[in-house]
Amino acid sequence: MNRKKHIGSGVWRVTIGFMAVLLTLSAFSACKKENPTGTGDETSPATGPSGSQETTGESSIYDIPDQVGEQDFGGEVIRIASTNREWYADEVVVPRMTGDVIDDAVFKRNKRVEERLKVSITNIPMGSGSAPQYAVPDAIRNDRQANMSSFDIAWNPVYSTIMYTSEGLLTDLLTVPNLNLSAGYWSQLFNETASIGNAQYMAAGPISLSYYRYVFVTYVNKNLLNSHDDAPDLMEVVRDGDWTLDYQYELASQYYRDVDGIDHNEQDVYGFVSSAYLNVDPYWSSCEINILTKTSDNFYEYNLSKERLINAVDKILRLYYNCDGTYLYTPDFADESGNGEQNQIAEKFASQTALMATLRLLHVEDESVRNMTDKYMILPIAKLDASQTEYYAYQHDSFTGVAIPSTVSADKHAMLGAVLEVMASESYRTVTPAYYETALKERYMDDPDSWEMLDMITGNIKMDAGVLYTKVLDSVHQKLRTIINNDKQNLVASRYSEQVAEQIRGLLDEMQDKIKALQGNPAETAA
């Protein structure tokens, strides 16, 4: 049985909107923010670059043609290795049309790729147990040692793949023919964040559903909210810039209700449910706290905003542990699905006994949430304070990207570049509107206000290379989980001390020196 941490008194927890996740934005010197349009202009995300509100899969809104054309690769089998976990089951290959809008869109995408390029796409799921996300890079390493090539494309969680860049396991995608990462169907936010030096070793965007699904949001039960006579209009609170951690604390405090005579157990009604594990991570973005920033030569430097972190920790601890209306779930590491406590939070919210919950977008697809009789809406994760001008969204670092193993012969690069390019463009044309417009908006959300929030959230994603490369850097972003889980503000001083900072800088320098050597910059490495 999972240990539940109770938080009681005295105890201190695309319309075009998702084009934003894909397209160009000038880089911030620290974290990067997505451009809210599909073309790099300032057109409203509600209408798209043409002003049209069409949302069909063939709409010109989503139709950014690639330059690959039709080619004949003689029926070559394209072997894609992916993580064997339910989160990613429908991203790469769907065996047949099922009538489900998302399954059918992925199936249709793959058929178009195969027909245009005369190839055959096959998926090779890898890994088992609690950490299958490392199986793909392990297989690349084994291939290199054995001088062989078992697959052509790695389709894997970014954080558990990009960490091996300095080992030379991945091909520089900027050298691959037919691959145009500057096109609108690739994420320019990811390009800006993940590129390093004069190379880029992974790409991401609408080619994978998890790039959408893994955005964290705040779920709100509208029926529970309006059960109080003085219930606020939360949409207006957000629009006015007042949706802060302090505001969320005050709101959550008003909604605790004991339903069974046992004080603060799981069955009671709460104002806010979350966890002190994965759900801590979104505050890096929502509170605008930086870890790594880019240098002028497109490498990284450690630049943690420690004063801002301390302020955020104080507010998060107050919400988590000093709020009578908060209930936290403990991570279930034995759950091999990888969802752990996230499923428990979703089920609690779906039981209509929680006003607010922090969860990823993917949980709108849960049967329990779909079958709620109460209506719900989504809001951004609360920002640090009212002086912060923007709401920023965070993607769980397990969203998937694509890479070409360095073990693959250069003779195949032109073919694989064409496959990835056409998969990306066809995903944007087919899968994105199916998921963002039809599934998210028409199937799972029923009000224009939530659509507005969805567009705003996905149009303001912030991505930090300190999260992408975290496993190389002593799991730097996960140290915040330890602080919040232990309810100790004073842990900031030890977990992010100057001594730890020097250690992280050393690890970062070591990684970057190796990458510079891979890129042919021995003089810089020596310096």
Tell me: do 237 and 371 sit in the same domain.
yes
Q: pLDDT: is 407 or 340 the higher one?
A: 407
The CATH number linked to 175 is 3.40.190.10
Identify the CA nearest to 215 among candidates 204, 223, 224.
Answer: 204
User: Residue 101 has which token pair?
Assistant: 């809008």
pLDDT-based confidence at 88, cuts 50/70/90? confident
Q: Identify whether 25 is part of a domain.
A: no
Whole-number pLDDT of residue 33: 46
In a domain, 328, yes or no: yes
Exposed e or buried b per residue across 6-34, where buried means at least 16 C-beta atoms within 10 angstroms of its C-beta: ebbeebbbbbbbbbbbbbbbebeebbbbb
Instruction: Please check whether residues 373 and 437 belong to one and the same domain.
Output: no
* Residue 143 reports pLDDT greater than 70: yes
Give me the mean pLDDT over the 493-510 stretch. Answer: 95
Q: Does residue 54 lie in a domain region?
A: no
What is the C-alpha to C-alpha distance for residues 459 and 453, in angstroms, rounded to an integer? 10
Asked if residue 407 and residue 384 are part of one domain, the reply reads no
Angle in degrees, CA 14, 16, 22, rounded to 5:
80
pLDDT tens for 340-376 read 789 999 999 999 999 999 999 999 999 999 999 999 9
Mean pLDDT of 483-505: 92
Hey, is 376 helix, strand or coil?
strand
Q: Kindly tell me if the per-residue pLDDT of 64 is higher than 70.
A: yes
Domain assignment present for 505: yes
Q: What does the alpha-carbon distance between residue 94 and residue 427 come to, in Å, rounded to a whole number?
A: 13
DSSP for 259-327, please give it: SSSSTT-TTSBEEEEEESSGGGTHHHHHTT--SEEE-TTS-EEE---HHHHHHHHHHHHHHHHS-TTEE
Handedness of CA 174, 179, 184, 189 (dihedral sign): negative
pLDDT tens readout for residues 209-225 = 999 999 999 999 999 99
**For residue 68, what pLDDT is reported?**
96
Distances (CA, A) of 228 to 224, 233, 356: 8, 12, 15
State pLDDT tens for residues 416-429. 999 999 999 999 99
Residue appearing with tokens 């429908």: 90
Per-chain mean pLDDT for the chain:
87
Q: pLDDT grade, residue 334 (50/70/90)?
A: low
Which is more confidently placed, 13 or 179?
179
Of residues 360, 436, 359, 391, the one with CA closest to residue 17:
436
Q: Are 251 and 187 contained in the same domain?
A: no
64 inside domain: no
Q: How far is CA 314 from CA 99, 176, 323, 359, 392, in A?
A: 48, 47, 13, 21, 19
Give a yes or no: residue 309 inside a domain. yes
Q: Does pLDDT of 51 surpass 50? A: no
- The number of distinct structural domains making up the chain is 2
Instruction: Assess whether 259 and 190 both reside in one domain.
Output: no
- Interval 149-201: pLDDT, tens: 999 999 999 999 999 999 999 999 999 999 999 999 999 999 999 999 999 99
How high is the pLDDT of residue 129?
A: 79
Query: Can you tell me the distance from the alpha carbon of 156 to that of 84, in angstroms, rounded to the nearest whole number?
Result: 10
Q: Is the pLDDT of residue 432 over 60?
A: yes
- Per DSSP, the three-state class of 223 is helix
Task: Give the pLDDT confidence of 186-200 residue by residue, as tens digits.
Answer: 999 999 999 999 999
pLDDT of residue 136: 96
- Measured CA to CA, the distance from residue 37 to residue 16 in angstroms comes to 7
Sign of dihedral through CA atoms 405, 521, 524, 147? Answer: positive
Q: Do 223 and 79 reside in the same domain of the chain?
A: no
368 shares its domain with 421: no
pLDDT digits (tens, 9 = 90+) for 247-283: 999 999 999 999 988 888 899 999 999 999 999 999 9
Looking at residue 453, what is its pLDDT?
95
Interstrand relation of 292-294 and 216-221 (parallel, antiparallel or unpaired): unpaired
Closest among 149, 161, 199, 207 to 411, alpha carbons compared: 149
pTM above 0.75, yes or no: yes
Those residues whose C-beta lies under 8 Å from the C-beta of residue 190, and which sit 6 or more positions away, are: 202, 203, 204, 205, 401, 463
Tell me: do 416 and 469 sit in the same domain. Answer: no
Whether 51 is in a domain gets the answer no
The percentage of the chain sitting over the pLDDT mark of 90, rounded to a whole number, equals 78
50 within a domain of the structure (yes/no)? no
Integer Cα distance of 382 and 391 in angstroms: 7
Burial class (CB in 10 A: 0-12, 13-18, 19+), 227: middle
Alpha carbon distance 91, 345 (integer Å): 24
Domain, as residue range, for 413:
69-212+398-446
Shared domain check, 294 and 368 = yes
The answer to whether 211 and 204 are in contact (CB under 8 A) is yes
Query: Could you tell me if 285 and 325 lie in one domain?
Result: yes
Whether the pLDDT of residue 480 is over 60: the answer is yes
Residue 106 has pLDDT above 50, yes or no: yes
Instruction: Give residue for tokens 């004063």.
Output: 307
Q: Do residues 189 and 312 share a domain?
A: no
- Measured CA to CA, the distance from residue 218 to residue 241 in angstroms comes to 16
Q: Do 197 and 139 fall within a single domain? A: yes
The yes-or-no verdict on residue 230 having pLDDT over 70 is yes
Q: What is the per-residue pLDDT for 63?
A: 86
